[in-house]
Amino acid sequence: MKHDIVKVLTLAVLMMAALTNVALAADPVKSSKADPLPSWNEGSAKKAIVEFVAKVTKKGSPEFVPVAERIAVFDNDGTLWAEKPMPFQAFFTLDRVKALAPQHPEWQTEEPFASLLKGDPKAALAGGERAVVQLMMATHAGMTTDEFAKIVSDWIATAKHPKTGHLFTEMVYQPMLELLAYLRANGFRTYIVSGGGVEFMRPWTERVYGIPPEQVIGSSIKLKFELRDGKPVLVRLPEINFVDDGPGKPVGIQMQIGRRPIAAFGNSDGDLQMMQWTAAGPGPRFCLYVHHTDAEREWAYDRANIGGLEKGLEEARSRGWTVVDMKADWKRVFPFEKE
Amino acid sequence: MKHDIVKVLTLAVLMMAALTNVALAADPVKSSKADPLPSWNEGSAKKAIVEFVAKVTKKGSPEFVPVAERIAVFDNDGTLWAEKPMPFQAFFTLDRVKALAPQHPEWQTEEPFASLLKGDPKAALAGGERAVVQLMMATHAGMTTDEFAKIVSDWIATAKHPKTGHLFTEMVYQPMLELLAYLRANGFRTYIVSGGGVEFMRPWTERVYGIPPEQVIGSSIKLKFELRDGKPVLVRLPEINFVDDGPGKPVGIQMQIGRRPIAAFGNSDGDLQMMQWTAAGPGPRFCLYVHHTDAEREWAYDRANIGGLEKGLEEARSRGWTVVDMKADWKRVFPFEKE
């Protein structure tokens, strides 16, 4: 009997070991019956995503991609969160001008600040790019990186969208949150590659999207190392360092990641070069455009000054890239919508 | 009897499950009896490393650091591989000038190329920084990123150190390879933060150090996105983008990682600001200087033009940072040395 127990125990241990190995090797998403993309309607877009992921994660398949190379890049404004009536960083900029105005009496008469403080942003922006840069530098530079991170964190914790009344961090697309999680569960690293300021995004992207600071690529201003009373700080200088938009996106990707993504997600012509760069690599590739077609639940636009998608849509169609019709493909747009 | 087997099996399954959980949760390094740093002599440096790692990885301890924040940054030249008689990228530059000379007949008379081609690098470098930049741009710019990666890969596969006759990629420090692996086994991400060219390092750092391209930070020249016959390329422009040295190192870290490292490893005054930046964060911190004291197995220097360690050594001593005495602390310097 004692001998039997030893035999049984040995058998059980071997069985368990085998089962454990199977469990560890199995794909957590595939082995689960639950739909990893519940906010996506069944259709060609969802099908294309799932087929691509299945293909590149299937060991032994000719299209298998090792985990180290499973890099997916996402635009932010209009791709992961909304960008209407204007990119959310612009709201931050306006709020900062108002908050800083008491320390700058000269802004009451100096443009573009004066018009802005009088509640006329259109007049403020009449100065074009120069006005925008002036506003950006007055609000984004002159402090240390730690101070700026705190300013952003404080603002994003309470700032609300003027139309929906929801926090800006709630104005994120539920289907894209699911897509990010689905890709990560399949061994992808998910990067943001945005025209927005890199240090405007980093304080909250991990909490909101699950994307850590080192996987955020964005536009930047120059930094300067200084010792202040023996304490090292990085000071944000009023000088543009890098514009991570359009042809800047593949440059930002190469500078920071140093390898070519295999999947790219965007919504505008500003993402086109990132798509082209991603698509031109060898092996399986996936490019997806979010097309804003839902005027009711979100906004419908593709010929806009910001977020315009003309060349991109044309190229997507001619190259067979996936185009998400937001109205038809998304069961739910925002997390706060009722299911 | 049948009932007994079921009971025993159930018990065995429960035991196995418990054991499996323990095995998964256990630290792979600590649970092994093997010394993870066999090329380090017992002494204060090794002790300091092991104590720091134990401290930050001990769950529940007040000095525990979550895996996401376990970031360690390493200088490259003189810290991970040797840098004498000159930084190895300089050998690459000279070899490229020779290889490209047939396409540039004007170099036979133009400085700094003429002196270099006559075998007189000292005369070539008499032009100072301007000469260096000219040589760098002539050899590092003008091609696509893919073409440059291939040039580097081809060169590094065969180029040998003039004194030892070993491949440059064999002139790496065995104790530092063990340290990199030890930190990674304890949940750290290991980054290179080097004054060297980022695209000069990326083609081989994964193979040699286990450090993937996205964890390499370095100096860079500007890149430009272009479509050539419809094919997207990134062209390397003869214009400096970023110098990742001295005060540039904390800037490079902030730009690319966006969080402060908890451990920094260097060997020269060019690493001092990176150390200061690392040391100034909250919670446990670790800074280590490699002091080149071994004229026999390697080189002994700290007052050199390149790799000088004067302020750094002073600051290390006053702040209690760890200083490795290469001669005393390292059992073996290079992997090719007999054990």
Residue A125 has a pLDDT of: 85
Residue A4 has a pLDDT of: 54
Residue B302 has a pLDDT of: 86
b/e sequence B59-78, b meaning 16+ C-beta within 10 Å = eeeeeebeeebbbbbbbbbb
Question: CA nearest B6 in A: which residue?
Answer: A8
Q: B320 pLDDT exceeds 90? A: yes
Query: Phi/psi class of residue B299: alpha, beta or left (left: φ > 0; alpha: ψ in -120 to 50)?
Result: beta
Residue A126 has a pLDDT of: 87
The DSSP 8-state label assigned to residue A73 in this structure reads E
Q: A233 pLDDT exceeds 90? A: yes
Which of A4, A16, A184, A285 best tests the B interface by mutation, with the highest count of B CBs <10 A? Answer: A16
Q: Torsion over CA of B129, B133, B139 and B145, rounded to 10 degrees?
A: 140
Q: A18 pLDDT exceeds 90? A: no
Residue B134 has a pLDDT of: 93
Task: With CB atoms and an 8 Å threshold, state whether B225 touches A256.
Answer: no
Residue B261 binned pLDDT confidence (cut-offs 50, 70, 90): very high
Gap between the Cα atoms of B175 and A262, Å rounded: 36
Return the percent helix, strand and coil in chain B, to nearest 5: 50, 20, 30
pLDDT, average across residues A123-138:
90
Calculate the alpha carbon distances from B153 to A166, B158, B177 in Å: 52, 9, 21
Q: Counting beta carbons within 10 angstroms of the beta carbon of residue B197, is it exposed (0 to 12), middle (13 to 18) or buried (19 or more)?
A: buried
Residue B4 has a pLDDT of: 54
pLDDT, average across residues A26-32:
47
Residue B242 binned pLDDT confidence (cut-offs 50, 70, 90): very high
Contacts of A271 in chain B (CB under 8 A): none
Residue B122 has a pLDDT of: 86
pLDDT, average across residues B179-194:
98
Question: CA nearest B235 in A: which residue?
Answer: A251
Task: With CB atoms and an 8 Å threshold, state whether B280 touches A232.
Answer: yes
Nearest to A180 by CA among A319, A278, A20, A49: A49
For residue A241, give the 3-state DSSP assignment.
Answer: strand
- Is pTM, for the whole model, over 0.80? yes
Please give the sequence-ordered ranges of beta strands (E in DSSP) within A38-188, or none if there are none.
71-74
Question: CA nearest A11 in B: which residue?
Answer: B9
**Any residues with CB less than 8 A from the CB of B14 and at least 6 apart, and which?**
none
Q: A27 pLDDT exceeds 80? A: no
Which of A7, A148, A211, A214 best tests the B interface by mutation, with the highest count of B CBs <10 A? Answer: A214
Give the whole-number percent of chain A exceeding pLDDT 90: 83
Q: A154 pLDDT exceeds 50? A: yes
Query: How do residues A77-101 score in pLDDT, each as one tens digit?
Result: 999 999 999 999 999 999 999 999 9
Residue B24 has a pLDDT of: 40
Nearest to B115 by CA among B139, B94, B85: B94
Nearest to B172 by CA among B204, B220, B198, B214: B204
Residue B290 has a pLDDT of: 97
Query: How do residues B123-162 score in pLDDT, each as one tens digit?
Result: 988 888 899 899 999 999 999 999 999 999 999 999 999 9
Q: B257 pLDDT exceeds 70? A: yes
Residue A302 has a pLDDT of: 87
Query: How do residues A140-150 score in pLDDT, each as one tens digit?
Result: 999 999 999 99
Give the whole-number percent of chain A exceeding pLDDT 70: 90
What length is written for chain A?
339
Lowest mean pLDDT among A136-140, B26-30, B42-46: B26-30
Task: With CB atoms and an 8 Å threshold, state whether A68 touches B223.
Answer: no
Query: How do residues A40-68 score in pLDDT, each as one tens digit?
Result: 999 999 999 999 999 999 999 999 999 99
Residue B23 has a pLDDT of: 39
**Any residues with CB less than 8 A from the CB of B196 and at least 6 apart, and which?**
B76, B77, B87, B89, B218, B219
A113 versus B305: which is more confidently predicted?
Answer: A113
- Please enumerate residues of B whose Cβ is less than 8 A from a Cβ of A: 4-5, 8-9, 12-13, 16-17, 20, 68, 145, 198-199, 202, 212-214, 216, 220, 223-225, 227, 231-232, 234, 241, 247-248, 250-251, 254-259, 273, 276-277, 280
Lowest mean pLDDT among A40-49, A128-137, A189-198, B252-261: A128-137
B15 versus B247: which is more confidently predicted?
Answer: B247
Query: How do residues B200-227 score in pLDDT, each as one tens digit?
Result: 999 999 999 999 999 999 999 999 999 9
Which of A7, A254, A257 best tests the B interface by mutation, with the highest count of B CBs <10 A? Answer: A254
Residue B28 binned pLDDT confidence (cut-offs 50, 70, 90): very low
Q: B199 pLDDT exceeds 70? A: yes
Contacts of A256 in chain B (CB under 8 A): 214, 256
How many A/B residue pairs have CB atoms within 8 Å?
102
Q: What interface predicted TM-score (ipTM) does this complex get?
A: 0.89
Q: How many CB atoms lie within 10 A of CB A137?
A: 16
Residue A7 binned pLDDT confidence (cut-offs 50, 70, 90): low
